[in-house]
Amino acid sequence: MGSYRVYVYAICKNEEKHVDGWVASMGEADGIFVLDTGSDDGTVERLSAHPEVTVRQEEVIPWRFDEARNRSLAMVPEDADLCVCTDLDERFVPGWRQAAERALAGGAQLLRYRYTWSFTEDGREETVFYAAKMHARRGFTWRHPVHEVLVWTGEGAPLSSVAGGVQLNHYPDKNKPRGGYLPLLELAVKENPADDRDAHYLGREYLFYGRYDEAIAELKRHLSLPAARWEPERCASMRFLARCYEAKGEPEEAERWLLRACAEAPYLREPWMALARYCYDRANWRGVIAAAERALAVAAPGEYVSEAANYGALPYDLLSLAYHHTGDQKNALSNVDKALTYEPENERLRRNRAFFTR
């Protein structure tokens, strides 16, 4: 197809409904390799019906994602110039291969690309960040039992590049259980307690389960680790701590952690918007204005996890309400108009505009 050999590889289990769409999306590759880890639906048969797919069945016992990923990577031919790891509930926007080849031209060994992890019910982007699962055939391995990450095993640092024009979309099955994540994260922290990334994810998982005291302890441990130096992730842990304390009925402590999050990564919109929403819930209108206006000073999403709502109507919506409550109808009307440019069919915003006009 091009001047490079490009192969896709994946792991799967009981993904029959995703197979055809995924294979079509990956069709720009020179070959597709799938390790099925124990499907009992029609996944293997459906994959096998596509001649461009090589599928192998193999159980991984005890289960861990890194081991499964490494076994699937081993299926990729040695002549690969680029290995592309995806999951069956993901889809590339057409033209991804040509864009990736352009990024390879400078000798890159690792490519980063735009990844939309989730969408709203009406199809708008929700959570967006940059992924890095396109890589050279040699010098990389997967590590961590869950939330596995691609690790460079060669000398020095790999040459990386941003693959502009590559867009991968994720369409997760929200009914699929994630109960196995927590024990795997606890295993990861047990295996390597000094790893800051695993500590962050374990604290977040405890939060998801409503185990707030354990979440608080682990998130604070994350922040205390010598390796925990990446400001965006530290900022996220602080926001999670705020959510824990708010759930526990300790709003003052929640506010302290939100303010610390803003100070940790003021160049991200997420902490400012978290603070704006906190102030909104307490009718602290001056606080909403200060935080949301500061959020809008961040012009574009960062390369860490971005919440797309923060870059749409939401900041202007909150500002319009806050300005209204402080008696500034001119700014209330101006901001609701800006919100409507993002959501012109939003009936609540329309009603608010009519009210502010009166």
Q: How far is CA 94 from CA 30, 165, 179, in A?
A: 15, 10, 34
Q: What sign has the CA pseudo-torsion 186, 190, 191, 195?
A: positive
DSSP percent split of the chain into helix, strand, coil, nearest 5: 45, 20, 35
Q: Quote the pLDDT of residue 178.
A: 61
| Residue 243 belongs to a domain | no
Three-class SS state of 140: strand
pLDDT the model gives residue 2: 67
- Residue 165 has, within 13 A of its CA and on its CB side, a CA count of 11
Residue among 62, 133, 192, 131 at smallest CA distance from 200: 192
pTM of the full structure: 0.85
Domain assignment of residue 88, yes or no: yes
| CB contact at 8 A, 242 and 255 | yes
349, burial (CB in 10 Å: exposed 0-12, middle 13-18, buried 19+): buried
51 occurs within a structural domain: yes
> Token pair of 38, please?
């124990």
Q: What is the pLDDT of residues 192-245, one digit of tens each?
A: 999 999 999 999 999 999 999 999 999 999 999 999 999 999 999 999 999 999
pLDDT, tens digit, 9 for 90 and up, residues 266-280: 999 999 999 999 999
CA-closest candidate to residue 33, choices 79, 67, 83, 108: 83
- What range does the domain containing 27 cover? 6-170
Residue 299 within any structural domain of the chain: no
Could you give the number of structural domains in the chain?
1
pLDDT band for position 41 (50/70/90)?
Answer: very high
Instruction: Please compute the mean of the pLDDT values over residues 256-263 and round it to a whole number.
Output: 98
Is residue 279 a part of any domain in this protein? no
The pLDDT-based confidence of 286 (bands split at 50, 70, 90) is very high
Q: Would you say residue 252 lies in a domain?
A: no
343 is a domain residue: no
For residue 126, give the CATH number of its domain: 3.90.550.10
Q: Is residue 355 part of a domain?
A: no
